[in-house]
Amino acid sequence: DSGVTQTPKHLITATGQRVTLRCSPRSGDLSVYWYQQSLDQGLQFLIQYYNGEERAKGNILERFSAQQFPDLHSELNLSSLELGDSALYFCASSEGGGSTDTQYFGPGTRLTVL
Amino acid sequence: AQSVAQPEDQVNVAEGNPLTVKCTYSVSGNPYLFWYVQYPNRGLQFLLKYITGDNLVKGSYGFEAEFNKSQTSFHLKKPSALVSDSALYFCAVSTSGTYKYIFGTGTRLKVLA
């Protein structure tokens, strides 16, 4: 158990809908990362937050947004969902958010868009 | 641009034999290299990392990896494979000034009893 929690575990929804994925980092970690894992794209970095501020952005679509709250938990919002958004979404956390930090991954949320 | 290659989609090895999972990287600047393992329906678990110093890095569950700067490689090794090592293995790289990992495509390790 990494200490990173994600809810929900599974999410089934329809095209055009909006969903929110939630992540709680390990105790003491200030940085949160979001990744998308799909069969055709592999593991793709989406976005990173450090202590409430956006620090780095990857291949995140404009339909997707995230935030990190004062208690350091983070939410990833996915809107106008398409079939291709079906994937495993992972949250990771690290202590400082630097390049050498180890990122600890949560169990993931499996999103299925029908 | 940073990139990581895991040239083998799958590696099969007999239980008790040594295993190697290959990883090569391309970065500008000093690389920071990581190995993770993913079991079915689970998140990624950290195995080991290379930041600087000794080229041979020891990690969890008896795994080790050797950083080779001239060959830009960071292969994962274990002297004696277990059936329970069967999983998906990911190599990742970051570099100074970047805050994200770039992951390889993963290598599925199958250890045969």
pLDDT, tens digit (0-9, with 9 covering 90-100), for B39-90 = 987 889 999 999 999 999 999 999 999 999 999 999 999 999 999 999 999 9
CB atoms within 10 A of CB A62: 7
Residue B106 DSSP symbol: -
Q: Considering only residues 33 to 92 of chain A, which have any Cβ-Cβ distance to chain B shorter than 8 Å?
A: 33, 42-43, 45, 48, 50, 55-56, 58, 90, 92
| List of residues 6+ apart from A60 with CB closer than 8 A | A34, A46, A47, A66
Stretch B9-23: mean pLDDT, rounded? Answer: 97
Which of A59, A88, A103 to mutate to test binding with chain B, by most B CBs within 10 Å of its CB? A103
Phi-psi region of B70 (alpha: psi -120 to 50; beta: other; left: phi over 0): alpha
The answer, yes or no, to whether residue A64 has pLDDT greater than 80, is yes
Q: Say which of B44, B94, B96 has its CB closest to residue A105.
A: B44
B43 contacts A48? CB cut-off 8 A: no
What's chain A's average pLDDT? Answer: 95
Q: Which residue has the tokens 């989609």?
A: B9
Residue A59 has pLDDT above 90, yes or no: no
pLDDT-derived band of residue A114, with 50, 70 and 90 as boundaries? very high
- Whether B13 has a pLDDT exceeding 90, the answer reads yes
Residues in chain B, how many? 113
Answer yes or no: is pLDDT of A80 > 90. yes
- Total Cβ atoms within 10 A of residue B41: 10
Confidence of residue B99 (pLDDT cuts 50, 70, 90): confident
A45 to B102: CB separation less than 8 angstroms, yes or no? yes
Angstroms from B14 CA to nearest CA on chain A:
27
pLDDT score for B9: 95
User: How far apart (Å, rounded) are the C-alpha atoms in residues A106 and B16?
Assistant: 31
**B6 → chain A, closest CA residue:** A42
